[in-house]
Structure formats: C-alpha cells, structure tokens
C-alpha cells in the first residue's frame, strides 16, 4: 500500500498525486497514477476522512474472482444513484429483487430485439447530423459534448419509451430535470467539504423528482393504453406486458400505480447510466480517429463497402436492413479499443469476512472492511496484460489467439462480465455504430484544444496520461472529456 501516516492515513499520497494533475481529473485517473507503483495489481488505500479502506484491483484474475464472489455494492455507491433515480434500481439492487427486475427487462435489451429498434436511433442521429452541419457552417469552436449528450438522451428515450423528446432541438423537462438531479447529487468524488455538505440540495432534488415522476408516469400510462393489436416495440411496453402477464399468472393484485412507482427508478437509471457513457465514448472515438488518419481511412472504407458509396443514404440502408450493422467488424473493433483506452466507469463492491482475493503472485488479500474496486482504467492500461498498451490499435480485436496483440481473457471489462454486466451494452454499441456510420464520412471532427486554451488559459496541468482530452469530473461521478471536447466540424462534401 502507499506510505501510511498515523494521523493523515494515505491522504498525503492522494494530495501529492493530485498536485501533479488537472484539478478536475477523475478519481479513476488519480488511482490509475497511484496503481502504477504496485506491480502486483492489488493494493489497499485508506480514504479517510472521506471514506474507509479501498482495495484497488487491476488484474484480470482478481477482477474475475471479485465477479464470482457476488459481493454487494457498498452504501457509498447505493445512496447517490438512488438519489438520482428516486429509489432502488437495478444499479443498486441485489439478490432476488435485482433478479426479478433484471429478468423483466432482459427481453427488451436482447440483441435480436434491440436491433429492431435501430430505425428509431437513425432518426435521432439524423437530427444530430443536422446539428453538426449547422456547427460546420458557423465555423466556430464548440464543446461537442453539448450535442452528444442530447443525442444519447433522445436515443435512449426513443428506444425505452418510444417517445420523441426533440431534446436535440429544445430543452425537454424530463431531460432537464434529470440533469439538474445529477448536478445536485453528491457522489462523494469531490474533496471540497462545502460542495459535499452545505447546499440547498434537498429542495432541488424534491422538485426534480416531482417533474420526472409526472412525465414517466404519463409515459407508462400511454404504454398501458396502447391497443394490443398495435403493440409498441419500446422496452417499457415489453416490460409492462411481461409484468401484467406475471401478475395474471400469480393472481397478484398489484395495480398499475404500483408498477409505475417501482418502474420509475429503472427508467431513470437507463437515462442516468447511459447518457454520459455513450456520449463520452462517441466523443473519444472521434478524438482518437482524428489522431490516427490511417485508422480513420479504414473505418470509412468499411462503411463504403457495407453501407454504400453515398453517406447520405446510410440512414435508409439501415432502416431497410439493420443487420448491416452487424457486418462492421472494424467499426466494432474501433469502439472496443476506444472503450479500452477511455473506459467510462468501474465496478466497486463491499468486502466481507469470508471473501479474499488471491493475487497472481499467490498472495492472499482479505476483503473484510474494504470497498473492493475493480479499477477498469488501470486494468485496461496494465502493460502486463496488454501488448502495446498505450497504442490505439483496433486490430487487436480482429486477430487470433496466436497473435501477441490478442486480448487476455477478462482483461477488457468496459461493460463488466457475468450476470451483473451492463444491461444496456447492446443498446450502447448499437447507437455508437449507427452514429459513426452516419457521421464519419460526412464530417471531419477535429479537437481544437489549442484554440480553446488560448481563450481559456489554465494555471495548472491540463494533461493526463499524455491526453489533453483527459477524463474529467463534471459532477455525477462521471468521466467526461475535458472541457466538453472543444472541436471544429467540417463538411466533407
């Protein structure tokens, strides 16, 4: 473990590490820097006075052991999300309750089912393209995240609720209330006590909950009223039908109002968990492609071969045959490699007395009294398990086991593994493939940090791990591209 002081614990190590980094660098990035000191891939760090002891894990074998132990989530990871979602959701539930809700929504996120909703997403991406075209015509530097987040929120609502928010064009109350809720929720990632404890937070959160519950309740009512002979393909409609069939078969008397109360947090968690992760991954894909013109040329060539020579006809091609999206292996490899270099999240669990992790050196690590953190960014940047670890190399996802580039089993955990893997990963990958297919040949999207920094000069470091577009805190414990990814957009045709 890092150097320990009797009174300060490991706070000195944290302070020293933070001093050499941007002030808004994510806690993930801070821990990545510390983890490089520990070759075993496992170490303990005491987070007093903000939390207890954490076990940080960055090896595939240890991460797999944690997954199989089926540990519960700690309170520090349950309370903030439940503030955003308005109650327990699949993100925070455990045991039989979690199994019930996961089973209810699994059919709606099945790959064979979700591909049928691709036309909905293409409509949202078409609006995104129109917004990019406006920015190109204006010729100004702007933060791309302001557009990609709205695209993601719209796409999720289109698929999950079968409703068009038009949030890319104007503010929509559900999305606005969710964003306020996220901004006002304390995720414990700031070390500033004024921000953590002294706010008018409760009043703002209460108001946001009222707004979101009213809108989501109305959408559930609409799904309930949908004629049986014209069923909606939305995820919520499918879940509602499953729920009603379950209630009928068990002679339960639970009402629609009860379903609305219980399902609202699940719908909110889809928006909360998916909006930033997919948005940031799309941005980082543009960022990495702009830095690697050879890879950009390859992905464009694949799109031309599979989707046709005219980029403006891609939406129509996908609507006619969404299975074309499953014929883009290089595009999928680019996305997976982006997620390796810039994973949007990590997994933390609560240790217990009977659970221990065996390191690759054979040493046993007790988990009792610890929060056990599979630090995905450290796992993905572990040179012991990745060849050319800092290189953007999509080809590693296309080679066979005999190739040195071939990924070690369990070393890539962007969506985690096992029963509790991300339920929305199929939707996220689908949205990313569609967004790239409809934009990458129509636009050149290039970072403009030099121009941004000349207007917004900084007095501290603005790089992490060699990247100006480092992962930054912007509330909600999320990993956002620094400064929202200032960029320029040019039309190619």
CB 337 within 8 A of CB 329: no
> Which residues make beta-bridge pairs with 358?
364
For residue 156, CA distances in Å to 126, 179, 258, 325 come to 15, 15, 24, 18
How many of the other CB atoms lie within 10 Å of CB of 226? Answer: 15
Helix axes 145-160, 173-184, angle to 10 degrees: 120
Pairing of strands 486-491, 142-143: antiparallel
- Residue whose C-alpha is closest to residue 208's, from 184, 232, 231, 224: 184
- Mark 339-366 as b/e (b = at least 16 C-beta within 10 Å): bbbbbbbbbbbbbbeebebebeeeeebe
Q: Decide if 159 contacts 121 (C-beta within 8 A).
A: yes
Q: Which residue has the tokens 């503010």?
A: 171
CA distance 164 to 158: 6
Q: Is 422 annotated as a binding residue?
A: yes
Residue 349, φ and ψ in degrees, nearest 5: -135, 165
Which residue ranges make up the annotated binding site for heme?
422
Annotated binding site: 422
């Amino acid at each position: 473990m890092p150097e320990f002081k009797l009174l300060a614990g490991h706070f000195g190590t944290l302070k020293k590490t933070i001093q050499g980094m941007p002030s808004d660098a994510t806690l993930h990035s801070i821990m990545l820097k510390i983890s490089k000191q520990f070759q075993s891939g496992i170490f303990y760090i005491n987070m007093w006075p903000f939390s207890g002891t954490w076990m940080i894990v960055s090896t595939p074998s240890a991460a797999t052991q944690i997954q199989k132990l089926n540990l519960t989530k700690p309170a520090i990871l349950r309370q903030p999300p439940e503030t955003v979602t308005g109650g327990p959701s699949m993100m925070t539930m455990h045991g039989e309750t979690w199994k019930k809700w996961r089973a209810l929504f699994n059919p709606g996120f099945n790959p064979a089912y979700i591909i049928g909703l691709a036309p909905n997403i293409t409509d949202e991406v078409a609006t995104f393209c129109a917004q990019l075209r406006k920015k190109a015509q204006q010729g100004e530097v702007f933060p791309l995240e302001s557009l990609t987040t709205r695209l993601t929120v719209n796409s999720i609502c289109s698929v999950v609720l079968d409703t068009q928010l038009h949030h890319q064009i104007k503010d929509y109350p559900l999305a606005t209330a969710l964003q306020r809720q996220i901004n006002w929720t304390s995720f414990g990632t700031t070390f500033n006590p004024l921000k953590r404890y002294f706010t008018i937070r409760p009043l703002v959160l209460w108001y946001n909950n009222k707004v979101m519950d009213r809108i989501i309740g109305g959408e559930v009512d609409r799904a309930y009223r949908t004629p049986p002979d014209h069923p909606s393909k939305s995820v919520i409609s499918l879940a509602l039908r499953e729920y009603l069939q379950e209630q009928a078969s068990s002679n339960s008397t639970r009402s629609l109002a009860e379903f609305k109360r219980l399902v609202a947090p699940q719908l909110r968690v889809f928006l909360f968990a998916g909006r930033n992760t997919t948005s940031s991954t799309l941005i980082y894909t543009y960022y990495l492609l702009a830095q690697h013109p050879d890879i950009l040329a390859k992905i464009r060539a694949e799109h031309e071969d599979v989707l046709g020579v005219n980029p403006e006809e891609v939406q129509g091609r996908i609507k006619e045959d969404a299975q074309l999206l499953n014929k883009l292996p290089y595009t999928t490899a680019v996305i997976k490699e982006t997620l390796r270099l810039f994973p949007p999240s990590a997994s933390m669990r609560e240790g217990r007395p009977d659970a221990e992790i065996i390191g690759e050196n054979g040493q046993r690590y007790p988990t009792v009294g610890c929060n056990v953190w599979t630090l995905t960014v450290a796992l993905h940047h572990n040179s012991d398990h990745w060849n050319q670890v800092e290189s953007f190399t999509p080809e590693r996802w296309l080679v066979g086991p005999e190739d040195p580039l071939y990924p070690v089993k369990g070393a890539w955990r962007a969506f985690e593994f096992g029963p509790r893997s991300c339920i929305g990963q199929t939707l996220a990958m689908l949205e990313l493939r569609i967004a790239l297919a409809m934009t990458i040949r129509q636009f050149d999207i290039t970072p403009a940090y030099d121009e941004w920094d000349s207007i917004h000069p900084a007095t501290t470091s603005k790089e992490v791990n060699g990247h100006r577009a480092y992962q930054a805190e912007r509330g909600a414990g999320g990993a956002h591209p620094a400064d929202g990814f200032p960029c320029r957009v040019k039309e190619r045709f």
